[in-house]
Amino acid sequence: MESKFKVNTEGKWYDNVDLAWRMNEYDEFAVEQAVQVKDQVGEADVTVLSIGIDKVKETMKKALAMGCDRGVHVNDDASYAKDPFEIASIIAAFARDKGFDLIFTGMQSQDRGSAQVGVLVAEMLGLPSVSTIVDFAFDNGQITAKRELEGGLRAIIKTQAPALLTCQLGLNTPRYPTLPNIMKAKKKELLTLEVATLLQDGARQETVKMYVPEKKGGGLVLEGDVGAIADQLVQILKEKTGVLA
Amino acid sequence: MEFTREIYWNLGKGAGTLIPMYASACIAIAVLAWGFLQRVKVYRQAQPLNRTDNLGERIAGLVKAVLLQTKVLAVRGPGIAHALFFWGFFCLFIGTCLVALQADFTDLFFGVKFLKGPFYLLFSIVLDLAGLVAMVMLAGLFVRRYLVRPDGLESKVDDAVMHGLLFAILLTGFFIEGARMAVTELGTPLALWSPVGLMVAKAVASLGEASLRNLHLGLWWLHLVLVVGFIMLIPFTKFRHIFTTSANYLFADQGPRGNLVTLDLEDEAAETFGVAEIAEFTWKDVFDADACTLCKRCQDRCPAYATDKPLSPMKVVAQIGELAFEKPEANLIATVSKDALWACTTCRACQEICPAAIEHVNKIVDMRRNLVLMAGEFPGEEVTVAADNIEVNGNPFGLGYATRGDWAEALGVKPLAEDPEVDILYFVGCYASFDKRNIKIATSFIKLCQAAGVKVGILGKEEKCCGDPVRKLGNEYLYQAQAAENIELMKRYNVKKVVTTCPHCFNTLAKDYRDLDFALEVEHYTVFLEQLVTRGALKLSASSFDCTYHDSCYLGRYNDLYEQPRALLHVAGGKLIEMSKHERESFCCGAGGGRILAEENLGERIANKRVGMADATGTGLLVSSCPFCLTMFEDGIKGLEKDESLVAKDITEILVERLS
């Protein structure tokens, strides 16, 4: 991801040119958790949903190779311009009549990082939501999740399915797809829906501008002989600070 | 008098001698054949593989390796002892055959005797000395095995039986000869043509003829029993190597050297990939275990074994044999252990030295393939991340693919997408593209090319990892995906010739890509630059320096490129002081086999060991020609705090300082 990130000509989002596409890291934990629940209970059907341009289908193949049963691609060339409320309402519109027992989302996206979509979806569907989970157990509808809190504290939350959970990094170890599963994934159902069929609600917010902040000062790395560096450092501290005064 | 001897002297040439002798010989051979048939059934559990193509070449290889003992002799001490023993015993075998041929065939049916006159004298002295040489060598090997006891040499019941039986056969042979000579030849000039027999004859002569005849008769039958026992034991003891190791020369891999099977990933019928049990190996992999003599030469050279990691190539081969014969359905990977499998650097030192032509590396990669492709397992989390990075950005670092060619901008080198009219395509590789230390190799190489008037292009952001590290780790799928993109690109740009600075890229493009319909000329920079120097296009002003040179595995053992790097150092004014482990015997830096992507958590760091060897040369300069090696050595030098006494450099860096 450490590519040359540039702001696009609109000035509102990243320029896609020369960027490699991959699954949002938080979502990898969500996919893994869903597949683990399936492995645990046996009779389960996991749907993976992604909103975006045609290219996201390639990324979804990985989720299918990891063990999801079917994929739903919501085709939207302008998904980047949608606010978290719109994204959530698209997902909620799809999920409303599907009767999912569990919905896992990433805690946030790596690009926008609003951390709103998961909880908004839960709200729209009238489901309990647990955010930032780092551990998850499922027993016959009973959910026990561990949340990560400030200062390294943990909280244990219990709730009942159906529920939505947003996944923090480290929740599990996302599996590396096996070759037979990669092959199987190629044949799995990958439904494409046009965004217009799901989007009923308008945006609640607008990105006005995205920009690279101005550089304010910078670090200085001293190199060379230890003695010389020490002298240099003392000199700088004397000239520019008051610590040696 | 005519020089000859009476065959079946003291025994009589009647049915009383011949019937028991030939009957027991037939039984022995029948047991031998039956024993091997049982083993063939075990080989047949595994997959088919054609190893009888190019039969002429194969037979020539077999004859050379067996009769000249070329592979055995690659290690001096025990190799010479084995070869001399073999030649001695082989002469005795031929001698015995000649005796049988004359006595029971040419003489019996046609009245023709050829063991007479000068030929008999030659026959006599050769066999006598052959017996002596065989006995002395056997004694020497006995001393080595049981008294000197070299590290790692395991002695089992088989070894004791073999030593005892062979010694008894030779000893009884001499006493039979001595007893006969004491009665028939003492005092004749003929006796001098059997010096050892004569010595024995003199020692036993005082027994008197009657006792000597009894002794002779008894020993003759004992000798026969011992030989029959020897033949029968062949398939059931390590004696089997007489046949299996020889046959392995016939079935040997004919290259390209270090080639792995390119898996058909589109094969719809394939349910499993890689190897997790015996039946998934080829018969040759099982046969290899039978050809192994546990000589431990591989283990002695294995960098993983030498640094206390749980891998011994010898043990892996032995474990495959044990499972094949005892528990074929058992899980191979659990038996060998994942830690052992992941420890391999695919340096090929084992395979290069193996006197039995065993193929170790492909077995390990086959099992790794099962771990990666069937279970999604890697040696560590960091490797999973690196593989993922290669998949997304085409490099293990996870750096944006678009920055891959940034290092070249200031040098005026353009991607082929901008300017495809070039003399050579420089396939840069991940380390020289992204790693700060290794970018110096790339920039130096470009400066050298520019000085020689060679126009170089790169693929820039379109280049992907060649796939070597992931392939050697077992991820054939990711390798083929990377390879396909690279190949498609190079074809599209009509590239004429590719030069790499990384031996891993070189080996992969030059050999592995051949299976994927890629046939361009590929060279490592040491070969390319050496030609430029020879042609006079690249002019260097030599200035003298001392150094030691590390042969990268993928340049040396995989491709026999030992001379060009040394020639370049020589031209630059380098005085080379070799480490004791160099060229074919070079000790891996620890980065091969995808280990460059993995943390080294078990045992001593391989790179540290190699850096120690380089430091001991006292030259202060460790030169290599591989970005992986350089990376490992820089780490090793820091890790051992040898910054004061040792510097690691690539050949390009040395040459660029000497551009005239």
Query: Could you tell me where the DSSP H helices lie in B329-467?
Result: 332-336, 338-343, 349-353, 361-369, 375, 381-393, 430-434, 436-451
**Interchain CB distance below 8 Å, B399 and A19:** no
Distance CA B554, CA B561 (A): 9
**Interchain CB distance below 8 Å, B378 and A177:** no
Mean pLDDT, rounded, for B617-634: 98
Distance CA B400, CA B469 (A): 19
Distance CA B27, CA B33 (A): 10
Q: Looking at chain B from residue 467 to 486, which residues have their Cβ under 8 Å from any Cβ of chain A?
A: 476-477
Mean pLDDT, rounded, for B197-225: 96
**pLDDT range class, residue B496, cuts 50, 70, 90:** very high
Distance CA B243, CA A238 (A): 83
**Interchain CB distance below 8 Å, B374 and A180:** yes
User: How many residue pairs from chains A and B have C-beta atoms closer than 8 A?
Assistant: 53
**Is the omega angle on the peptide bond into residue B118 within 30 degrees of 0, that is, cis?**
no
Choose which CATH entry (1.10.10, 2.60.40, 3.40.50, 3.30.870) describes domain B540-656: 3.40.50
Q: Six-digit token pair at A114? A: 């609003």
Q: What is the DSSP string of B486-514?
A: HHHHHHHTT--EEEES-HHHHHHHHTGGG
**pLDDT range class, residue A3, cuts 50, 70, 90:** very low
Number of neighbours of residue B129 by Cβ within 10 angstroms: 15
B468 φ, ψ (degrees, to nearest 5): -55, -50
The three-state secondary structure class of A8 is coil
- B417 close contact with A: CB closer than 8 A: no
The pLDDT value given to residue A216:
76
CB A108 within 8 A of CB A26: yes
* pLDDT exceeds 90 at position B267: no
Which residues in chain A are closer than 8 Å to B392, comparing Cβ atoms?
20-22
* pLDDT exceeds 60 at position B171: yes
* Backbone conformation region of residue B355, classed left if phi is above 0, alpha if psi is from -120 to 50, else beta: alpha
Mean pLDDT, rounded, for B496-511: 98
Q: How far is CA B520 from CA A150, B237, B449, in A?
A: 58, 49, 20
**Interchain CB distance below 8 Å, B376 and A19:** no
- A175 close contact with B: CB closer than 8 A: yes
**pLDDT range class, residue B39, cuts 50, 70, 90:** very high
**Searching chain B, which residue's CA lies closest to the CA of residue A181?**
B374
- A2 close contact with B: CB closer than 8 A: yes
* pLDDT exceeds 90 at position B14: no
- B185 close contact with A: CB closer than 8 A: no
Give the CATH fold of the B278-375 domain: Fumarate Reductase Iron-sulfur Protein; Chain B, domain 2 (1.10.1060)
Spatial neighbors of B595 by CB under 8 A, at least 6 apart, are B345
Q: Range with the lowest mean pLDDT among A77-91, A202-216, B101-115, B158-172?
A: A202-216
A92 φ, ψ (degrees, to nearest 5): -65, -40
- A202 close contact with B: CB closer than 8 A: no
**pLDDT range class, residue A245, cuts 50, 70, 90:** low
* Parallel, antiparallel or unpaired: strands B456-457 and A47-52: unpaired
Mean pLDDT, rounded, for B430-444: 98
Q: Which of A4, A21, A178 sits opposite B376 (nearest CB)?
A: A178
Q: Which of B392, B402, B477 sits opposite A4 (nearest CB)?
A: B402
Which one, of B439, B653, B426, lies nearest residue B525 by Cα? B426
AA letter at B76: R
Q: Range with the lowest mean pLDDT among A39-43, A219-223, B52-56, B248-252?
A: A219-223
Which residues in chain B are closer than 8 Å to A1, comparing Cβ atoms?
398, 400
- A22 close contact with B: CB closer than 8 A: yes
- A177 close contact with B: CB closer than 8 A: yes
**Searching chain B, which residue's CA lies closest to the CA of residue A18?**
B402
Distance CA B131, CA A5 (A): 80
Which residues in chain B are closer than 8 Å to A19, comparing Cβ atoms?
400, 402
- The C-alpha of B389 sits at a distance from chain A's nearest C-alpha, in angstroms, of 10
**Interchain CB distance below 8 Å, B392 and A21:** yes
- CA angle B271/B276/B281 to nearest 5° reads 85
- B287 close contact with A: CB closer than 8 A: no
* pLDDT exceeds 70 at position B300: yes
Q: Looking at chain B from residue 15 to 74, which residues have their Cβ under 8 Å from any Cβ of chain A?
A: none
Tell me if B390-533 shares its fold with B540-656.
yes
- B402 close contact with A: CB closer than 8 A: yes
* Residue B576 bridge partners (DSSP): B547
Which residues in chain B are closer than 8 Å to A21, comparing Cβ atoms?
392
**Searching chain A, which residue's CA lies closest to the CA of residue B274?**
A179
A195 φ, ψ (degrees, to nearest 5): -60, -35
Which residues in chain B are closer than 8 Å to A179, comparing Cβ atoms?
265, 273, 373-374, 476-477
- Domain A25-197 sits in CATH at 3.40.50.620
Q: How far is CA A110 from CA A35, A115, A169, A206, B357, in A?
A: 22, 10, 11, 19, 53
Distance CA A172, CA A185 (A): 22
Q: Which of A2, A175, A183 sits opposite B400 (nearest CB)?
A: A2
**Interchain CB distance below 8 Å, A176 and B384:** yes
A36 φ, ψ (degrees, to nearest 5): -65, -40
Distance CA A109, CA A118 (A): 10
**pLDDT range class, residue A237, cuts 50, 70, 90:** confident
- The C-alpha of A181 sits at a distance from chain B's nearest C-alpha, in angstroms, of 9
Which residues in chain A are closer than 8 Å to B376, comparing Cβ atoms?
175-178
Distance CA B83, CA B369 (A): 38
Percent of chain B with pLDDT strictly greater than 90: 97
Q: Which of A3, A173, A179 sits opposite B477 (nearest CB)?
A: A179
* Backbone conformation region of residue B104, classed left if phi is above 0, alpha if psi is from -120 to 50, else beta: alpha
- A226 close contact with B: CB closer than 8 A: no
**Interchain CB distance below 8 Å, A20 and B401:** yes
Domain boundary assignment for chain B: 15-239, 278-375, 390-533, 540-656
Interface test with B, best of A29, A59, A176, A223 (most B CBs within 10 A): A176
* pLDDT exceeds 60 at position A1: no
The class that CATH gives domain B15-239 is mainly alpha
Q: Which of A18, A21, A175 sits opposite B402 (nearest CB)?
A: A18
Distance CA B232, CA B27 (A): 8
Mean pLDDT, rounded, for B592-598: 98
Most distant CA pair in chain B: distance in Å? 100
Q: Cα–chain-centroid distance for residue B150? A: 20
Average pLDDT, chain A: 93
Q: Using one digit for the tens of pLDDT, what is the confidence trace for A189-213?
A: 999 999 999 988 889 999 999 988 8
CB A198 within 8 A of CB A74: yes
- A180 close contact with B: CB closer than 8 A: yes
The predicted model scores a pTM of 0.93
CB B144 within 8 A of CB B81: yes
Spatial neighbors of B75 by CB under 8 A, at least 6 apart, are B297, B353, B355
Element (H, E) at B425: strand B424-427
Choose which CATH entry (3.40.30.10, 3.40.50.1860, 3.40.190.150, 3.40.140.10) describes domain B390-533: 3.40.50.1860
Mean pLDDT, rounded, for B153-164: 96
**Interchain CB distance below 8 Å, B393 and A20:** yes
The pLDDT value given to residue B1:
60
The three-state secondary structure class of B177 is helix
Q: What is the DSSP string of A48-84?
A: EEEEESTTHHHHHHHHHHHT-SEEEEEE-TTGGGS-H
Interface test with B, best of A179, A183, A223, A225 (most B CBs within 10 A): A179
The pLDDT value given to residue B383:
97
Distance CA B247, CA B244 (A): 5
Distance CA B336, CA B339 (A): 8
Mean pLDDT, rounded, for B564-593: 97
**Is the omega angle on the peptide bond into residue B503 within 30 degrees of 0, that is, cis?**
no
**Dihedral angle computed from the Cα positions of residues A213, A215, A217 and A220, in that order, rounded to the nearest 10 degrees:** 120
Q: How far is CA B139 from CA B85, B88, B90, B92, B361, in A?
A: 10, 13, 17, 17, 34
Q: Using one digit for the tens of pLDDT, what is the confidence trace for B544-568?
A: 999 999 999 999 999 999 999 999 9
Q: Six-digit token pair at B374? A: 């069937």
The pLDDT value given to residue A2:
44
The pLDDT value given to residue B480:
98
- The C-alpha of B267 sits at a distance from chain A's nearest C-alpha, in angstroms, of 10
* pLDDT exceeds 90 at position A217: no
Distance CA B162, CA B234 (A): 10
Mean pLDDT, rounded, for B317-321: 98
- The C-alpha of A174 sits at a distance from chain B's nearest C-alpha, in angstroms, of 10
**Interchain CB distance below 8 Å, B375 and A182:** no
CB B497 within 8 A of CB B425: yes
AA letter at B272: T
The pLDDT value given to residue A152:
87
CB A118 within 8 A of CB A85: no
Q: Looking at chain A from residue 34 to 93, which residues have their Cβ under 8 Å from any Cβ of chain B?
A: none
**Searching chain B, which residue's CA lies closest to the CA of residue A183?**
B266
Spatial neighbors of A127 by CB under 8 A, at least 6 apart, are A103, A121, A162, A163, A164
More confident residue, A212 or B310: B310
Interface test with A, best of B267, B273, B388 (most A CBs within 10 A): B388
Which residues in chain B are closer than 8 Å to A16, comparing Cβ atoms?
none
ipTM for this prediction: 0.88
Instruction: Label each residue of B76-134 as H, E or C.
Output: HHHHHHHHHHHHHHHHHHHHHHHHHHHHHHHHHHHCCCCCEHHHHHHHHHHHHHHHHHH
